[in-house]
Amino acid sequence: MRTSRHVLHRTALTCALAALAVGAAACSDGGAAPPHPGRTHRPAASRPAAAPTEPPTLAPGPAGLTPVFTSAPRARGRTVALTFDADMTADEGARAASGEHFDNPPLIAALRSLRVPATVFMTGRWAEQYPAQARDIGADPLFEVANHSYSHYAFTGDCYGLPTVAPGRMRADVERAFAAFRAAGVAHVVPYFRFPGGCYDRRALRALAPAAVTAVQWSVVSGDAFATDAGAVTRQVLDGVRPGSVVVLHCTRSAAPTTERVVRAVVPALRAKGFRFVRVSALLGAAGRA
């Protein structure tokens, strides 16, 4: 009996010390184990929710076609996604070698200084031409990289004069871009695809269905491509943005020289109106929960 009382007393003392140490550690077989002595204990309620393991996507469309996302008008809050096309076609290597700039480091620096999350739709050829920049963008949690094809050739006929991808090569062109991102060491690649020129049809949606991507278009055309008047582009964006909008801009100095100035004007103006900037994945996820 004395031994039993001694064991009970020692157990009670152990429980009391454990309670003092961790605040709420259980003293039974079903209780949680105390934290590692070298770690700072945090109440469970204060731990951030685990991030989703996969970016949200849309379910396949009718007849299993690739789904298309343009905006999230029913998403809660005044959110907007700025997207930037890093365009470079497969046959523009000679122009880049001669000094033409298909990149835009000042634009990326502006987004960082303004703390604006963004989605960069990158061609595989762009990633091959600027692998260090592609890695830098992909490594920054502020951004996510999405697929804009390898070649930037059109997936339909008569698309702004672009060369066309043969129907039997459409999926391969998209997968080649993903391979180029991997070869360049690009992180934060999401399973979203933007058609070059925004041109697509039912045949293209059917061809890309096995690639399991969500096609992402836009609801606001910035007009920055080949524009020289930053003020006009800024006004067009501000006039077009609504809650849940996806804005298309460009990340190429040669083809869109005003975009950095547009971003520096648009961002504070929209924030003054109560808008919050998100990546496409966040906007798409919010649309799915609405």
Q: Which two tokens stand for residue 220?
A: 């606001």
Torsions phi, psi for 152 (to 5 deg): 60, 30
Q: What is the pLDDT along the chain (290 residues), one digit of tens a residue?
A: 444 444 334 444 343 433 333 333 333 333 333 333 333 333 333 333 344 568 999 999 999 999 999 999 988 889 999 999 999 999 999 999 999 999 999 999 999 999 999 999 999 999 999 999 999 999 999 999 999 999 999 999 999 999 999 999 999 999 999 999 999 999 999 999 999 999 999 999 999 999 999 999 999 999 999 999 999 999 999 999 999 999 999 999 999 999 999 999 999 999 999 999 999 999 999 876 65
- Side-chain-side CA neighbours of residue 237 (13 Å): 29
**How many residues does this entry show for the chain?**
290
Q: What is the DSSP string of 25-79?
A: ---STTSPPPPPTTS----GGGSPPPPPSS---PPP-GGGPPPEE---TTSSSSE
Predicted pLDDT at 288: 66
Residue 245: beta bridge partners? Answer: 80
Burial of 288 (0-12, 13-18, 19+ CB in 10 A): middle
Predicted pLDDT at 114: 98
Q: CB count, 10 Å around CB of 176?
A: 17
Predicted pLDDT at 103: 98
Indicate left, alpha or beta for 81 from its phi (over 0: left) and psi (-120 to 50: alpha): beta
pTM above 0.85, yes or no: no
Torsions phi, psi for 92 (to 5 deg): -100, 10
| Nearest CA-CA partner of 139 in 108, 104, 177, 168 | 108
> Among the residues of the chain, which ranges form H helices?
2-22, 93-97, 105-114, 124-129, 131-139, 170-184, 202-208, 230-240, 259-272, 280-289
Q: CB count, 10 Å around CB of 49?
A: 5
Report helix, strand or coil for 221: strand
Predicted pLDDT at 74: 84
Predicted pLDDT at 43: 33
Distance CA 72, CA 279 (A): 12
